[in-house]
Amino acid sequence: MKIKIPENFILGAATSAWQTEGWVGKKPGQDSFLDKWFQEEPFVWHQGQGPKEATNFMEMYQDDLDLMSQIGISHYRTSINWSRFFVDYENLIVDEDYASHIDALIDGLLAIGVQPIICLEHYEVPYQLMEKYDAWSSKKVVDLFAQYAQLVFQRYGDRVQQWVTFNEPIVSQTRCYLDAIRWPHERNSKKWMLWNYHKVLATAKVVKIFHEGGYSGRIGCIINPEMVYPRSSSQEDLDAARRYDLFYNRVFLDPMIKGSYPEELIELCKENDIYFDPTEEELALISTNRLDFVGLNQYYPKRVKSQRFAWREGEHFHPEKYYEDFQLPGRQMNQSRGWEIYPQIMYDLSLYMNRNYPDIPWFIAENGMGQENEENFKDQSGMIDDQYRIDYISQHLYHLLRGVEEGSKCEGYMLWAFTDCVSPMNAFKNRYGLVSIDLENDKKRSLKKSAYWFKSVIENQSFELENKM
């Protein structure tokens, strides 16, 4: 089956600053939260690999630009590392060495016809602000983030047309303070919800600055909504899925796109003593400064069933009070990553967006296939034959385009990731890139089979689908 790509449909790829840059040129005091976590707990990162070296992008970015040009991607998303952009976060003294690197990267992308999408915070909150203000617990940090954004717009706004405030703004606090599985391992569900709120507030402030500054282009945010499926059609299972959607998806999507929070979410927050106590002025700011577009990261379905047990009195709140995880029998799995593979999430996401947020443009900002021990898949020429990644991408892209045919406002698809890169704890264990990074050979780059396939999709604006799922 031949699948055609619509005209002007984005076919790009993404990474982030901290997952690629490495620490070359990083000055004392410029640690991000991720840098500090790696220093505190290097043993939880696979084989002790982390952001210290990453892919050596600071020195080797031109190699990656050459490969982007060869493949022909239309867009590349990365981030500016907030922790490296300044040498003084409160007096806003810019590190000109790092800022010049961003200048060169943006100019290099534009020179090869690749449109940059720049994220202001991809888990890169400066550790100094975490140590002094508890990071996103403080409205001081919200204001400093807005001032940082204003300086960035002034410097790069003449060339960058697409900006995003955060990538996956829910993740850091969920892992650190709700689930407490990442450093600093503090169980504090009220802080979790406060951080959620302050990132919404920070986004509204930055959107206001961008629009009032008269910059060309547009500004959005990248959310990672999980398409949540109830175990059954029972009311109890449907309630579990609805509440999961409220706590993990609509907590960002509704205020950022609609300008207000769902009433049921507010009631649940108050009932469980995790309400964030916004001021009327802040709610008005959120209401009137909404996103121009939204990027959506999507990898796997979330399946839930009703909670069978009463919540223990005195226990820290967790949304699991209202649901339990459900594993679909016979599901297809990515055994390396431990995630279910269900390409129809792309079509279902299109329906979800049409139903709940029909007016906002959106695109897939991340989707991809992680594979462990990829060196085992080399062919006789030494190229990684990652047919499994081609199959994964083509199936997901097919279902995404089904949604486009039915009227979704999806503008494109961006692959995670352009190159293999470091992930939290996982490090380089599971590889995601179109481009392989040889850790044993000075981070040498080479194209995988999927890169040549993606190149052909871009050139032909079509691909062959072997067996649809």
**70-121 pLDDT, tens digit each:** 999 999 999 999 999 999 999 999 999 999 999 999 999 999 999 999 999 9
Segment 158-180 shows an average pLDDT of 97
Residue 436 scores a pLDDT above 70:
yes
The second-level CATH assignment, the architecture, of 2-464 is: Alpha-Beta Barrel (3.20)
Segment 386-390 shows an average pLDDT of 95
pLDDT of residue 416: 96
> Residue 425: what residue type?
M
> Which stretch of 207-216, 230-239, 244-253, 333-342 has the lowest confidence by average pLDDT?
333-342
Q: Judge contact between 323 and 240, C-beta under 8 A.
A: yes
Segment 451-460 shows an average pLDDT of 97
Rg over alpha carbons for the chain, rounded to the nearest Å, is 21
pLDDT of residue 469: 64
CA dist., res. 202 & res. 135, Å (int): 12
Residue 468 pLDDT level (bands cut at 50, 70, 90): low
CA dist., res. 143 & res. 148, Å (int): 9
Q: Judge contact between 414 and 363, C-beta under 8 A.
A: yes
pLDDT of residue 338: 80
How much of the chain exceeds pLDDT 90, in percent?
A: 96
Q: Point out the residues that are catalytic.
A: 168, 366
- C-alpha triplet 389, 393, 395: angle, nearest 5°: 115
Residue 337 pLDDT level (bands cut at 50, 70, 90): confident
Q: pLDDT of 183-237, one tens digit each?
A: 999 999 999 999 999 999 999 999 999 999 999 999 999 999 999 999 999 999 9
pLDDT of residue 63: 96
Q: Which two tokens stand for residue 20?
A: 């690629």
Question: What are the structural domain ranges in the chain?
Answer: 2-464
Residue 335 scores a pLDDT above 90:
no
How much of the chain exceeds pLDDT 70, in percent?
A: 100
Q: pLDDT of 43-63, one tens digit each?
A: 999 999 999 999 999 999 999
Residue 268 pLDDT level (bands cut at 50, 70, 90): very high
pLDDT of residue 18: 95
Q: pLDDT of 271-313, one tens digit each?
A: 999 999 999 999 999 999 999 999 999 999 999 999 999 999 9
Furthest CA-CA distance within the chain: 65
Q: pLDDT of 1-33, one tens digit each?
A: 899 999 999 999 999 999 999 999 999 999 999
pLDDT of residue 3: 94
E strand map for 266-384: 293-297, 302-305, 324-325, 333-334, 339-340, 362-366, 371-372
CA dist., res. 95 & res. 82, Å (int): 10
Q: Phi and psi of 178, rounded to 5°?
A: -90, -55
Segment 366-381 shows an average pLDDT of 94
Give the residue among 135, 157, 131, 154 at the shortest CA–CA distance from 144.
Answer: 135
DSSP 260: S
Q: What is the pTM of this model?
A: 0.96
